[in-house]
Amino acid sequence: MDRLLPRARFLHLPLARFILFRWFAASAVLIAPVVLRFGLGLQINLVATSIIAGGLAAINLTYVVLLRRMEATGWSSGVRWMEPLQALVDLIILTVLLFITGGVRNPLLMFYVFHVIVTGILFKRIICFSIAVCAILFVVAECAAEVLLPGASPDIFGLGSIVAPGHFSYLLCILAAFSMMLLVTALLTCDIAERLRREEKRLAAATEHLTKLEEAKSRLLYFVAHEMKSPLVAITSCLQAARSLLEKQENVPDAVTDMLRRARARSDQMAALVAELLELSRQRSMPNAAPRHCAALISLVQYILDDHREAAEKKHIALGVGECDTEIDVLADCESLQRALGNLVGNAIEYTPESGKVEVSVLSDGDMAKIVVADSGIGIPEEDLDAVFQEFYRSANARKVSRIGTGLGLAIVKTIVENHGGRIAVESKIGEGSTFTVWLPKVKAAQQ
Ligand code: ADP
């Protein structure tokens, strides 16, 4: 089946979509007459319709070959002349099919309208109107042929000749109404399609603008964080030096020592915020900066758990591995991935009360690896679930548990996971716990 379709690069073109429709049309032209003949007893010439179906399939195959050649040679301008040519050839085939199956008496006449609509949606206005005018001329020619050569078009429905007495003026009215309908259909379809195309362009421009704004925001964030880093280091070391000096002095008022301690704690907090801001802007602006290596997920998880064991023990939290598939590898910037998963485990320990439980599982989910970090902690209010991945967002219940926190951790985790072609989701129940699930593409055997 794949061979009968144009390759991916051309698939978005109207041409390729026409090719797809045409396979269905060829099958319908082959099957429908058989059903109508044996189901409804219509005297359809099955040999003639089968030849047309075969011709349609052969023409379609030619288009596929031509498109592939064009793709191979990079001759995309050939596509331009193939568009109207295809639409016209289809119209001629429809006219021949109509002629051998009852002419204008055949309800298949409606398909001209369908053809004009599809042409209006996929192609330019000029092509659509040309097709509509050709369709009118073909139907007029068909009527003329039947008038001049009575019986040339078989009367498969047994309705009698279209040139019977009194039929002529009726035929003229039908032709006038049909022509009007085709032209109005072309006009309306082109108008709607053009409006949609304009809207599509507007949305593409807006998306590009948003992407540029996002990039500018990341650059600004990086610049501000970077500029804050050196003064902060200087402040922290001055505070440290002042404390060391004061420790050697006697009779230093407690208030002074306390103020220095608080200033130091605040500058540490600020330094943590700056470090996270730098990390977030680095991950966003240079998603593929670090090299990727094939890593066994279970080893990464074990390393992270060992790293957090002490913090968990301090709160008597049972930290362990749940269900585990030991065979899963991922292609990762290991440092970043460790940071992301470590952040989830760190949060789970932080937001779980004493004697709680934190469990990490590594599972397989089709082509993806699934890492689940589940805790029995304070949970996240339902209305905050979507917001927790936004920068600086902290739930009210989390702020009560831990006043210190930047609200940047999960934004960094999400960025890292998405940089690895994965996604993250969270489920939580207040007072019962939270479960963060990360999906990452598995390394396929061929990539290893
Ligand atoms: P921080 O932990 O510094 O506040 P994060 O970005 O890591 O920032 O987390 C954002 C918010 O998501 C937290 O403030 C908290 O409200 C919520 N959160 C994250 N992980 C958990 C968890 N395991 N249990 C409950 N709440 C959590």
pLDDT exceeds 70 at position 186:
yes
Structure tokens at 160: 């009698």
pLDDT of residue 177: 93
Distance CA 121, CA 186 (A): 9
Residue 188 domain-assigned?
no
Same domain, 349 and 368: yes
Distance CA 182, CA 178 (A): 6
pLDDT of residue 7: 47
pLDDT exceeds 70 at position 204:
yes
| 264, 285, 306 - which closes a domain | 285
**How close is the Cα of 39 to the center of ligand 1, in Å?**
67
Same domain, 374 and 441: yes
**How close is the Cα of 279 to the center of ligand 1, in Å?**
17
Residue 201 domain-assigned?
no
**How close is the Cα of 378 to the center of ligand 1, in Å?**
10
Same domain, 414 and 268: no
Q: Residue 78: pLDDT band by 50, 70, 90 thresholds?
A: low
> Cβ neighbours of residue 330 under 8 Å, at least 6 residues apart?
294, 295, 297, 337, 369, 420, 440, 441, 442, 443
Calculate mean pLDDT across residues 146-172: 78
Q: Is 414 in the pocket of ligand 1 (CB under 6 A)?
A: no
Q: Is 409 in the pocket of ligand 1 (CB under 6 A)?
A: yes
Distance CA 104, CA 224 (A): 74
Same domain, 341 and 442: yes
438 phi/psi in degrees, rounded to 5: -115, 130
Mutate to test the pocket of ligand 1, among 376, 394, 401, 428 (most ligand atoms within 8 A of CB): 394
Calculate mean pLDDT across residues 176-197: 94
Q: Residue 145: pLDDT band by 50, 70, 90 thresholds?
A: confident
Question: What total number of domains does the chain contain?
Answer: 3
Distance CA 282, CA 177 (A): 65
Residue 192 domain-assigned?
no
Q: Is 360 in the pocket of ligand 1 (CB under 6 A)?
A: no
Same domain, 52 and 142: yes
Q: Residue 448: pLDDT band by 50, 70, 90 thresholds?
A: low
Of ligand 1's listed atoms, the one at least distance from the Cα of 394 is 14
Residue 310 domain-assigned?
yes
Residue 271 domain-assigned?
yes
Which residue's entry shows tokens 């064991």?
309
Nearest CA to ligand 1 atom 25: 379
**How close is the Cα of 426 to the center of ligand 1, in Å?**
11
Distance CA 376, CA 322 (A): 14
Calculate mean pLDDT across residues 117-138: 91
**How close is the Cα of 199 to the center of ligand 1, in Å?**
39
**How close is the Cα of 255 to the center of ligand 1, in Å?**
34
Same domain, 39 and 57: yes
Distance CA 18, CA 175 (A): 28
pLDDT of residue 14: 65
pLDDT exceeds 80 at position 148:
yes
Q: Is 344 in the pocket of ligand 1 (CB under 6 A)?
A: no
Q: Is 378 in the pocket of ligand 1 (CB under 6 A)?
A: yes
**How close is the Cα of 347 to the center of ligand 1, in Å?**
6
Q: What's the CATH code of the domain at 256?
A: 1.10.287
Q: Is 154 in the pocket of ligand 1 (CB under 6 A)?
A: no
pLDDT of residue 13: 61
Residue 60 domain-assigned?
yes
Helical residues (DSSP H) of 74-166, grouped into ranges: 78-100, 111-122, 125-148
Q: Is 375 in the pocket of ligand 1 (CB under 6 A)?
A: yes
| 225, 254, 285 - which closes a domain | 285
pLDDT exceeds 90 at position 247:
no
> Cβ neighbours of residue 246 under 8 Å, at least 6 residues apart?
252, 256, 257, 260
Same domain, 46 and 154: yes
Residue 359, strand partner residues = 320, 374
**How close is the Cα of 386 to the center of ligand 1, in Å?**
12
The helix/strand/coil state of 216 is helix
**How close is the Cα of 197 to the center of ligand 1, in Å?**
43
Residue 81 domain-assigned?
yes
Of ligand 1's listed atoms, the one at least distance from the Cα of 398 is 16
Q: What's the CATH code of the domain at 393?
A: 3.30.565.10
Q: Residues 429, 430, 431, CA angle at the centre, nearest 5°?
A: 110
Nearest CA to ligand 1 atom 22: 348
**How close is the Cα of 324 to the center of ligand 1, in Å?**
25
Q: According to the per-residue pLDDT averaged within each range, which of 73-77, 323-327, 332-336, 436-440 is highest?
A: 436-440
Q: Residue 2: pLDDT band by 50, 70, 90 thresholds?
A: very low
pLDDT of residue 76: 65
pLDDT exceeds 80 at position 38:
yes
Q: Is 283 in the pocket of ligand 1 (CB under 6 A)?
A: no
Q: Is 398 in the pocket of ligand 1 (CB under 6 A)?
A: yes
Same domain, 74 and 116: yes
Checking DSSP bridges between strand 357-365 and strand 329-332, what pairing results, if any?
unpaired
| 257, 285, 313 - which closes a domain | 285
Same domain, 351 and 443: yes
The shares of helix, strand and coil residues in the chain, as percent rounded to the nearest 5, are: 65, 10, 20
Helical residues (DSSP H) of 74-110, grouped into ranges: 78-100
Q: Is 376 in the pocket of ligand 1 (CB under 6 A)?
A: no
Residue 172 domain-assigned?
no
Are the CB atoms for 61 and 115 separated by under 8 Å?
A: no
Same domain, 253 and 378: no
Residue span of the structural domain in which 125 resides: 9-164
Q: Is 135 in the pocket of ligand 1 (CB under 6 A)?
A: no
Same domain, 227 and 338: no
pLDDT of residue 431: 92
pLDDT of residue 325: 82
Mutate to test the pocket of ligand 1, among 351, 383, 384, 392 (most ligand atoms within 8 A of CB): 351
Are the CB atoms for 299 and 412 separated by under 8 Å?
A: no
Nearest CA to ligand 1 atom 11: 394
**How close is the Cα of 87 to the center of ligand 1, in Å?**
58
Calculate mean pLDDT across residues 25-54: 90
Same domain, 308 and 440: yes
Q: How many CB atoms sit inside 10 A of residue 395's CB?
A: 21
pLDDT tens-digit readout, 368-398: 999 999 999 999 999 999 899 998 899 999 8
Query: Whole-prediction pTM value?
Result: 0.65
pLDDT of residue 447: 56
